[in-house]
Amino acid sequence: MLKNKEDVYIWPIMKNQSLREIISVVNTQWMPPVHEPKRWYKTRRFIIFVVVFLVCASIALSYVFTRPAIYLSYATLLTVAKTAIDVPSNDADIQHVAIQKQILLGSELLAETSGRLKSGHNHGVSIDLSPGDIRQMLDVQPVAETNLVEMVAEGPDPAVLPALINTWIDVYLDARTNEVSRLLGDTTQILHTELAALSAQISAKRVELDQFRRNSDISSLEREENDALARLKGLNDSLNLASEEEVKAKARLDSINKAIARGQAVVPQEDTRTLSQLESRAQELREEVADLDRRYTQEYLNLSPTLKVIPEQLASLEEEIRRMRQSGQTIVQSDAEQEYAAAQQAAREIRQQLDEHKEKATEFSARFMEHEALRNDLEGLELLYRETQERLAQVETRYSGKYPQVDVVERAFVPGAPIGPNYWLDTLIALAGSIIFSLFCVWLIEFLTRKEQSEPAEVLSGIPAYEQGLLSRTSPNALQSMNALPHQNPALQNRVHQELTVEQINTLFRSAGNKEKLLIALLLSGLTLDEITAISNEDIDFENGQLIIGGTSPRTIPLNTVLKSLFANAANLLTNPSGEPLSVEDLNALLACAVSDAGFSDAVEITADMLRQTYMIYLVRQGIRLSELEIIMGYITPTELSSYSIYSPPNQKHSVNDIDRLYPGLRDNAL
């Protein structure tokens, strides 16, 4: 109830009443008087905005509407010669069109165009434009995939533009005609001079070649048909035959000597038959004597005159055979030796002649090479002469040079409507810019002239800013009464905990890698970074579905479906390639990478402590007894533990076995 407008008694105040309930009582019992604000159009900000807007808009609109209208006129040129009716058109030459653009915008053509416009030579009206002014007004735009170019002129005077473009075209055509005439005459004279010089050089080279051919005894252009080389080839062939005959004679002599050494009969070819007959007769007599020896005794044979002469005939025949063999052997061996000697002599003589002729052949080869060099020079001169004749014929029939064949497809015309500027669009832009600039000026002036507001004399510890502002409107006695309350709830003196939303954790978990997901799941299961770094394979009990935590706060954490799935893959463990666990700094860096991948702005800061506090708040809001919170989270100081009482519901509390330990963000993303 209110005592007066200055003091407020908070009544009734119970020990178990929260601060928000107390503030609600204060707010319902007394509200400060409301002062009537100024009219919006009389405020300082509105006045500044209007003044800046009017000044800025006036300047911008003056610029927009003082600009003259711009007109455009153009003409079209074809920059290649026409083709015959039975010849297909040439493909578009982009490089050629680009070159013609540079020529059209050259300083010489622009200067001549300026002079003709000033003199009024073409259209009877003098137009005073300098080459610089003309260059600003003119442009050449190639038509895509064609040899057409558009000669464009822009300016404020529509009557000047077609005269400017048409004069520009006439200057270009006249320049091309003069250039073609001049270059054609000069080129023709140069080519005639070159032809005369080449003709004289060819005649002199032919005389020199003919004289060299007679002096060097070169009768044929074919190298092998000349006497020196033909003689050399004949000697080589003869030497090959003589060497072959020498080898054959040596082989025959060696075979005869080997037959004689083996005791074989060696006789001339004509005595072979006679020797064969004698040997046959001797064989018959031997057989007859052997038969007589078997039939008769030696005494009987000696007494028979007809039988006694048979052995004598055999002896005489054998002597004749021996004599014939010896004589024939001598004759055959002698003939073979003579034939071998003759073959050797023939080979030696041919080699001697070949050695003598090689010097002549070498000298002839050198002269023939000189002859070939002279002939190649003559052929080069003749080829150059023919090419020069072709060039002369081409120059006299057609010309393609700096200025190509040009056809004026369309002359320039007087434009009917301007192409710019767009006054209405520019007006909208000017007004929008003026509004933005005015708002900026208002903000800048407010920022530079803003005064620091004094802070309230007393601030209740642990109360949010908007609630402190509400309490600041109460009287000093009321604030003193509120500060005098017994400090039954320690949460009023501790900092406000940082809690993440389920949507933020869902976003973080979905975009994280497997290692990052395991780190987030462990933090949302009540583990600290130091405890996570100490986890080993022995601490993971898949059979019983639990995780054993050691250290200063030993406990057992049930493995939920997310932890089981992540621990099942060894690649997801929080270790380096050598198998050593990651440090606390590495885990913080891993979490920072996950936050960055999730796309959170720099203003959103997510740390391991925030994830763990979020999980603790989730457990407390389910109504877990604060005394049993250490079973899940490990040791918590009494001061910190009591600070979470503000999140505990007012109804009956539950044991650790009656609450859901799996955080909703993990349940939504179960693997």
Instruction: Check whether residue 106 and residue 122 sit in a common domain.
Output: yes
Residue 662 inside a domain? The answer is: yes
Residue 20, C-beta contacts closer than 8 angstroms, at least 6 positions apart: 467
Instruction: Check whether residue 56 and residue 75 sit in a common domain.
Output: no
Domain boundary among 348, 376, 410: 410
Q: What is the DSSP letter of 2?
A: B
Residue 359 inside a domain? The answer is: yes
Residue 319 inside a domain? The answer is: yes
Q: What is the DSSP letter of 540?
A: E
Domain boundary among 351, 382, 410: 410
pLDDT at 234 over 90: no
Instruction: Check whether residue 445 and residue 593 sit in a common domain.
Output: no
Stronger pLDDT, 366 or 665, i.e. the higher one: 665
Instruction: Check whether residue 108 and residue 140 sit in a common domain.
Output: yes
Q: How confident is residue 2, by pLDDT bands cut at 50, 70 and 90?
A: very low
pLDDT at 185 over 80: no
Please classify residue 190 by burial: count the beta carbons closer than 10 Å to its beta carbon, then call 0-12 exposed, 13-18 middle and 19+ buried.
middle
Sequence length of the chain is 671
Q: Measuring CA to CA, which residue among 150, 332, 369, 151 is closest to residue 255? A: 332
Please state whether beta strands 407-410 and 138-142 pair in parallel, antiparallel, or not at all (unpaired): unpaired
- Per the structure block, which two tokens stand in for 607? 């740390």
Q: Using H for helix, E for strand and C for coil, what is the string for 610-654?
A: HHHHHHHHHHHHCCECHHHCHHHHCCCCHHHHHHHHHHCCCCCCE
Residue 13 inside a domain? The answer is: no
Please state whether beta strands 138-142 and 540-541 pair in parallel, antiparallel, or not at all (unpaired): unpaired
pLDDT at 154 over 80: yes
pLDDT for position 494: 42
Instruction: Check whether residue 296 and residue 425 sit in a common domain.
Output: no
CA distance 154 to 166: 14
pLDDT for position 668: 66
DSSP string, 327-362: HHHHHHHHHHHHHHHHHHHHHHHHHHHHHHHHHHHH
CA distance 11 to 1: 7
pLDDT for position 434: 92
Instruction: Check whether residue 384 and residue 431 sit in a common domain.
Output: no
Instruction: Check whether residue 619 and residue 648 sit in a common domain.
Output: yes
Assign residue 281 the CATH number of its domain.
Answer: 1.10.287
β-partners of residue 151 are 75, 140
Residue 108 inside a domain? The answer is: yes
Instruction: Check whether residue 63 and residue 75 sit in a common domain.
Output: no
The domain in which residue 528 lies consists of 492-668
Residue 584 inside a domain? The answer is: yes
CA distance 524 to 507: 15
pLDDT at 309 over 80: no
pLDDT for position 192: 81
pLDDT for position 487: 39
What average pLDDT score do residues 262-282 get? 69
Residue 14 inside a domain? The answer is: no
Are the CB atoms for 92 and 168 separated by under 8 Å?
no
Instruction: Check whether residue 542 and residue 590 sit in a common domain.
Output: yes
pLDDT for position 433: 93
Domain boundary among 380, 410, 440: 410
Bond prior to 305 in cis (omega within 30° of 0): no
DSSP string, 206-233: HHHHHHHHHHTT---SSGGGSHHHHHHH
Instruction: Check whether residue 406 and residue 436 sit in a common domain.
Output: no
Instruction: Check whether residue 518 and residue 649 sit in a common domain.
Output: yes
Q: What is the mean pLDDT of the chain?
A: 75
pLDDT at 72 over 50: yes
DSSP string, 141-193: EEPTTSSEEEEEEEES-TTHHHHHHHHHHHHHHHHHHHHHHHHHHHHHHHHHH
Residue 18 inside a domain? The answer is: no
Assign residue 572 the CATH number of its domain.
Answer: 1.10.443.10
Domain count, the chain: 4
Are the CB atoms for 588 and 533 separated by under 8 Å?
no
Q: What is the dihedral of CA 310, 316, 318, 320, to 10 degrees?
A: -150
Q: What is the DSSP letter of 40?
A: G
β-partners of residue 142 are 149
What average pLDDT score do residues 650-655 get? 85
- Per the structure block, which two tokens stand in for 161? 């533009």
Instruction: Check whether residue 528 and residue 442 sit in a common domain.
Output: no
